[in-house]
């Protein structure tokens, strides 16, 4: 595959990497080019940013103590292990 063209899988990895540690100039350009041509990855990037903002807000609000119940955790683990 052309070095400047990313797969959707690599593009979504870069979206998540960008939210955690940032991207190099080359990675940033590759992601921008990909999202200009791929509406699904552009939507994924947008949704990922929204999720990050919501989680940041929840995490910073000390009055909100959100915890998953043990039952919910078990259901999530069961679903992951199915695949």
pLDDT in tens, 5-37: 899 999 999 999 999 999 999 999 999 999 999
Single pTM value for the model = 0.67
Under a CB-based contact definition with an 8 Å cutoff, are residues 31 and 48 in contact? no
The residue among 61 and 78 whose pLDDT is bigger is: 78
pLDDT tens string 34-56: 999 999 999 999 999 999 998 88
Task: State the first-to-last Cα distance of the chain, in angstroms, to the nearest integer.
Answer: 29
Distance CA 1, CA 27 (A): 15
Residue 38 buriedness (CB in 10 A; 0-12 / 13-18 / 19+): middle
């Amino acid at each position: 595959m052309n070095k400047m063209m990313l797969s959707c899988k690599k593009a979504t990895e870069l979206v998540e990497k960008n939210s955690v540690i940032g991207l190099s100039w080359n990675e940033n350009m590759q992601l921008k080019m990909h999202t200009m041509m791929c509406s699904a990855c552009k939507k994924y990037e947008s949704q990922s940013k929204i999720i990050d903002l919501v989680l940041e807000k929840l995490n910073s609000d000390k009055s909100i103590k959100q915890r998953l119940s043990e039952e919910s955790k078990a259901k999530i683990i069961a679903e992951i292990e199915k695949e």
